[in-house]
Amino acid sequence: LLAHTLDYTGYRQYALQVKDLRTGRLLLKHPIERVTSVAWALDNDTLFFTQEDPVAKRSYLLGRVSLKTGKVETLYEEKDELYDIDLSRSLDGRYVFCTSTSKETSEVRALRADEPAGSFHVLIPREDDHEYYAEHRDGLFYFVTNRDAENFRVVTAPVDTPEVAHWKDFVPHNPAVRVESVELFAHHAVVSELEGGLPYLRVIELDTAAQHRIAFPEPAYEAALDINLEFDTSVVRFNYQSPVTPASIFDYDMATHSRVLVKQQEVLGGFDASHYTCERIFAPASDGTRVPVTLVYRRDLRKDGPQPLLLYGYGSYGYSLPDTFSSNRISLLDRGLIYAIAHIRGGGELGEPWHDRGKMKVKMNTFTDFIACAEHLVSTGYTTPAQLVTEGGSAGGLLIGAVINLRPDLWHAAILDVPFVDVINTMLDASLPLTTSEYLEWGNPNEPEEYRWIRAYSPYDNIGPQAYPHLLVNVSLHDSQVPYWEGAKFAARLRATKTDSNALLLKTNLDAGHGGASGRYDALKEVAFDYAFLLTALGLE
């Protein structure tokens, strides 16, 4: 039996159906609409699911469906508008978890997967600013928690007594290491960590407590657990890539510490990784904070002096911008561009404090960090403002919109992809998707002080009569995260206000959502258009 969800518009609204792979028959009389996550019980009949609100797109309902009877039940409704819910099942198959999360707090409900008709029960009642997530193995819950641990730790507790009084440290708190998650196997645990802006995978042998990190060879890279479906195994599958190493999947033997390359992304056109190199530097922010910047370029085209450079950024929601490989990017590198990624505050690269120092009342740090990265790349000879272009999408589009208002002279051209640029008006409209849950990231502009935080950087509200760089604004008609009219309003106000004659293009995809075109070739055409814009602005072929 295959449970699957489908979205046909790009609005990220999915319908659930179940297919019998032996006969091809669909088992649900009617698809269940607006499903956001699913988990099977162990009876080969019961499926749990979560649903989102049709307007706010907040995942708030937990349901259960029986394939034999067709009966659909609602089990739980999350009434707090700051919270979304999500389903998962422990790798050992024993428990189904329903996790309610806000930007700062979480709460987990659990149900034995072999008791599908039972009721979910709360493991640790929610408390403000306490985030925790649950896994299970051998009669113990393993909690990844920030209680008394700003960068999180892992604790265990018996399934019958999960309360805090019964917790025992499994991975103690380390202020220098952000614990992201734990994956539990029959004889090993794998902890995903962040340290110094880079990801690590720590393997712990459960019988002996011996532990080691999987070694990665490059100065900047992305590594994460891949899909692991087997519980009783000594082999863990992970993916690895870097700006010069194509996406690679490895099987790693946790007992022998040996690895086997299972698959690597094929790159056409005679790609040779040895022709490229990546490095990591640090840019001083205005308050002295060292901000990591990853650079990748072609070795034989690296000049002694400055050259064209594309600086990319995001810096929101605690999301760590990964140092990944892009076969599309080779087209730029082979033309002599340097590609740079700024790991600015508001992201999560340096742990929870990195996020906290780039949100709410100190959100301005995100934008000044990005400007500091650009200034450092200019002052150290990598590029000049006449050769510097920049790009960001969604909250990264907010970033680009803010920095071109603050320092329009620093950039030659900029691309804003599905940009969140009308922050005040969007956050004042609680009927729009995501607004209420985002109060803990940006602030609630209905509160006067928080209004002032946002008003200081909201791109649409800070457009001024000044010269701007060449601009391309990309929006999508079916975007559920950032409505298309935000970018359209931004472009219209710029046209009415700016004093230059540089290009300002508004491009609207009428058949896509927040992620852009979904067809393989249509997606490549979008990338080609963006690259053509940047290269034309730089005077390159």
Catalytically annotated residues: 394, 479, 514
CA distance 447 to 412: 37
Sequence letter at residue 372: A
Q: Count other C-beta atoms under 10 Å from residue 202's C-beta.
A: 17
CA distance 79 to 437: 12
CA-based angle 531:533:536, to the nearest 5?
Answer: 105
CA distances from 80 to 38, 60, 337 (A): 21, 9, 48
- Are 244 and 277 contacting, i.e. CB atoms less than 8 angstroms apart? yes
Q: How far apart are the first and last CA of the chain?
A: 52
The backbone torsions φ and ψ at residue 112, rounded to the nearest 5 degrees and listed phi first, read -60, 130
CA distances from 303 to 298, 306, 382, 539 (A): 10, 7, 9, 18
Strands 309-312 and 338-342: parallel
Sequence letter at residue 349: E
Please, what is the angle between helix 364-379 and helix 395-406, to 10°?
60
CA distance 233 to 448: 56
- Are 276 and 298 contacting, i.e. CB atoms less than 8 angstroms apart? yes
CA distances from 228 to 143, 184, 231, 239, 251 (A): 19, 10, 8, 11, 10
What are the tokens at 343? 């790991």
CA distance 245 to 114: 43
Sheet architecture: strand order including 46-52? 35-40, 46-52, 59-66, 72-77
The backbone torsions φ and ψ at residue 400, rounded to the nearest 5 degrees and listed phi first, read -65, -40
Residue with structure tokens 């960001």? 392
CA distances from 185 to 135, 188, 237 (A): 11, 5, 12
Which helix (H) or strand (E) segment holds residue 74: the answer is strand 72-77
The backbone torsions φ and ψ at residue 83, rounded to the nearest 5 degrees and listed phi first, read -115, 145
